[in-house]
Amino acid sequence: MKAPSPMSPNTYVGQPIERVEDLRFLRGRGQYIDDIKRDDQVCAAFVRSAVAHGRVRSIDATAALAMPGVRAVITAADFDGPIPTIPFRRPNPSIGPYAQPVIASDKVRYVGEPVAVVIADTAERAEDAAQEVVLDIEELPAIVGMAPAEANEVLLFEAAGGNVASVFVGTLGDAAAAFAAADRVVRGAFRTQRQTAMPMETRGLLAEWNATTSHLTMFGAAKLPFFNRRAMAAMMNLPEAQVDYIELDVGGGFGARGEFYPEDFLLAFAARRLGCPVKWIEDRREHFLATGHARESACDIEFALRSDGIILGARGTLFSNIGAYVRPNGITPARNMVQFLSGPYRIPNIHFEGRGIVTNKTPAGTYRGPGRYEGCFYCEQMLDLSADKLGLDRLEIRRRNLLTDADMPYRLATISPSDGAAETFCDSGDYRSTFERCIIESGWAEKAQLQGRLIDGRYHGLAIGNFIEGGASGPQENARIDVEADGMVSVYAGSSAIGQGTETVLGQIAADALEIPFERITVLHGSTTYLSEGWGSYGSRGTVMGGSAVIDAAQGLIAKFRGAAAIALDVAEKELHIANGVASAPNGRSVKLAQMAGLSCDGSFKNSKATYTFGAAMAHVAVDPKTGHVAVIDYLAVDDVGRIINPLTLHGQVTGAAVQGLGSVFSEELVYDESGQILVGSLADYLVPLATDYPTIRCVSLENYPSPNNPLGAKGAGEGGIIPVGGVVLSAVTAALQSLGVRPRELPISPPKLWALIQQAAQA
């Protein structure tokens, strides 16, 4: 089933148009936050706690203030009234006591927590002075593991009375009855490691205060400029119209960039206090300490099955280490694991409990596919365990439980407490179709003979797993289209650009909707100066929500064009024929849209129904038992995205996400010691994948099942490429080493860890 075109005969949508953004990037003409300079700007450096858990006894800034060029040292003592806390994005009554103050006052709870801000003429002077600020902190016992935290012997927040900040329950059907009727119950426990997004460009901000108009401008916005403006205005006690967030080019986002952090408020506070622009650029060491972490989770779950492999139900507990505080989106992974662990499979009875646990680590947030990556990993491992226990083929157990077109719309687990999106349905698709296509495209029939074989000193293993990717996060997105004096058309979008090709994709949609050449479209995005309200880019929503808002604005503009053209040509509106940006009257006279300078129309798209891209992935690995090294021989991803707007940008998203996922599987890990000290401080310790590490990654993207929930028929595609990687690769490694009795149960599977498992199995 192909997606019907809701727009014009233009053919930009669906074409592999090269990204218009890339021309300025490749020429070195991008404008990033560090390119913004003001003549009177000063620079900030943060004094961060070197203690994971402790009471602040004193802060001595005397030596720092005496240094040349130092303007101020700001501490909690400089605030009148209560210290503001970082706002939450998801409502939840339990998390209030765990909010992060913008600056530590009486207590610190993680290494890297801001304790003071030094303002100086240059960044170098600010950093030197920050080294001279003397902190006296009484150390308290640190707690870094989830199990010790749940014991509540050490409390991060005494007033809260416990270290479990949130508990989500996901239910569907009657799990107790399903387990009572089961032929077999299979139990498993697995873990994923702590990671962080690692964009090429670190975070940065420039806060500019206009005392005359009491107006604050924040440069360096990304992802959520409108939410951040709203939060900042409330925290600064300003009307929302007196705060602007300006979006610039960014070197990647991946979920972490653009959330509201302590640095956002502290720079704004300093700019208003000192009356001059204040700039801060995060260094890579700070990134490990200050930017949100993610992924550290564990599970203890059970599947109830019939003897033929049909899943009757699932239950268990899912744990998420959210670090020292609940950041704006910190509980999202715990929530998503509960709702999406079942993924693309028919599991009619579910009872999961998800626990968000605070520890003395950097606060966690979202990272590409939050909760879905972890949930998919757990589900795929449970399917392997179940197949082995029942004596079934691992592919067959998946085939028997995958959702089909007849199941749609399919209800996923309902979340409690409700967060505005407690109920959701898979919208469309035959999930077996991508699975079967993956089997064919991967050459499984030929490769299967390699399963578990030792060839030239390496054991080969293969696996196929399945996933869904939620997209189109609501509730709304806005856009505006203006006809300019030179005949060009400007599209103003509430969607943000974080590297996904927003200018190109929204330009294609606008060009088709208006029936004008793509070259006449300019897309401007994200900044709060363009629109009165927008929602930004997260949760695979930019194209679906932003593109649908552009269509609405385009349709409104065409209607206005019809009215203006009727007046100009002195004919009735119904007599006009509009095509290719031209309004033609029956008498042969015509007028072009390009001649209607000043014509403008706002558009919006409201939606509370998610879209679900679905797909399958295959991994072929070869494991060297002498070193524990795993070579990825072949990796294939097959997905159905509803409607493909641009095959080039889609291919880039899927391939890049797969590589990012492979880094997660093999090398990326944030390690802490027992005292809460992070042991990773540079890219020599935290190994991100190189372009040469995984040379064979293939992608097949389909558009057979358009979403019924938006006029494009599109589904989000920014995160799906990473979601199945952990599950499918670990399954392939397990298959390779099956004869050795090695079954890894946690990530990452770095060479030293895998080698140790092989040695343990040999000794046993």
Torsion from C-alpha of 653, 656, 657, 663, nearest 10 degrees: -170
Q: Which helix (H) or strand (E) holds 637?
A: strand 630-640
Is 225 domain-assigned?
A: yes
User: Average pLDDT in the 535-553 region?
Assistant: 96
Is 586 domain-assigned?
A: yes
Same domain, 47 and 132: yes
For residues 299 and 418, the model is more confident at 299
Same domain, 550 and 492: yes
The residue written with tokens 């947030």 in the block is: 365
Same domain, 60 and 25: no
Quick one: CA dihedral 434, 436, 438, 441, positive or negative?
negative
Same domain, 26 and 81: no
Is 80 domain-assigned?
A: yes
CATH of the domain at 484: 3.30.365.10
436: Cβ contacts below 8 Å, ≥ 6 apart = none
| The predicted structure's pLDDT at residue 225 | 97
How many whole angstroms separate alpha carbon 438 and alpha carbon 618?
Answer: 7
Same domain, 107 and 203: yes
Same domain, 25 and 94: no
Please state the φ and ψ torsions of residue 606, each to the nearest 5 degrees.
-105, 135
Is 404 domain-assigned?
A: no
Question: Furthest-apart CA pair in the chain: how many Å?
Answer: 92
| The predicted structure's pLDDT at residue 9 | 59
Q: 94-132, pLDDT tens digit by residue?
A: 999 999 999 999 999 999 999 999 999 999 999 999 999
Pair of tokens at residue 679? 């042991």
Same domain, 507 and 523: yes
Last residue within a domain, chosen from 606, 638, 656:
606
Is 535 domain-assigned?
A: yes
How many whole angstroms separate alpha carbon 721 and alpha carbon 650?
Answer: 10
Last residue within a domain, chosen from 233, 258, 290:
290
Which of 37-51, 268-282, 365-379, 683-697 is the least confident region? 683-697
Q: Tell me how many degrees the CA angle 31-35-41 measures, rounded to the nearest 5.
A: 140
* Residues 312-342 as b or e (16 or more Cβ within 10 Å = b): bbbbbebbbbbbbbbbbbbbbbbbbbbbbbb
* Residues 623-655 as b or e (16 or more Cβ within 10 Å = b): bbbeebebebbbbbbbbbbbbbbbeebbbbbbb
CATH of the domain at 91: 3.90.1170.50
Length of the chain: 764
Same domain, 550 and 477: yes
Last residue within a domain, chosen from 239, 273, 290:
290
CA contacts within 13 A on the Cβ side of 167: 9
pLDDT band at 1 (very low <50, low <70, confident <90, very high): very low
The residue written with tokens 């599947």 in the block is: 303
pLDDT band at 659 (very low <50, low <70, confident <90, very high): very high
Q: Return the amino acid letter for 558.
A: I
How many whole angstroms separate alpha carbon 419 and alpha carbon 475?
Answer: 13
Examine residue 417 and say whether the peptide bond preceding it is cis (omega within 30 degrees of 0).
yes
pLDDT band at 4 (very low <50, low <70, confident <90, very high): very low
120: Cβ contacts below 8 Å, ≥ 6 apart = 42, 43, 45, 67, 69, 70, 71, 126, 129
Is 254 domain-assigned?
A: yes
Mean pLDDT of the chain: 96
Q: Is residue 2 scored above 60 in pLDDT?
A: no
How many whole angstroms separate alpha carbon 436 and alpha carbon 440?
Answer: 6
Report the 3 state secondary structure along 191-260: EECCEECCCCCCCEEEEEEECCCCEEEEEEECCCHHHHHHHHHHHCCCCHHHEEEEECCCCCCCCCCCCC
User: Average pLDDT in the 452-475 region?
Assistant: 97
Same domain, 132 and 224: yes
Asked if residue 83 lies in contact with residue 101, where contact means CB atoms within 8 angstroms, the answer is yes
Is 26 domain-assigned?
A: yes
Residue closest to 523 by CA, chosen among 563, 554, 567: 554
Q: Is residue 191 scored above 50 in pLDDT?
A: yes
Same domain, 502 and 576: yes
- Residue 203: domain span: 33-140+198-290
389: Cβ contacts below 8 Å, ≥ 6 apart = 184, 186
| The predicted structure's pLDDT at residue 764 | 85
Is 513 domain-assigned?
A: yes
Same domain, 257 and 284: yes
Residue closest to 90 by CA, chosen among 366, 287, 375: 366
User: Average pLDDT in the 350-365 region?
Assistant: 98
Number of domains in the chain: 2
Same domain, 211 and 101: yes
Q: Is residue 285 scored above 70 in pLDDT?
A: yes
Neighbouring C-beta atoms of residue 474, cutoff 10 Å:
17
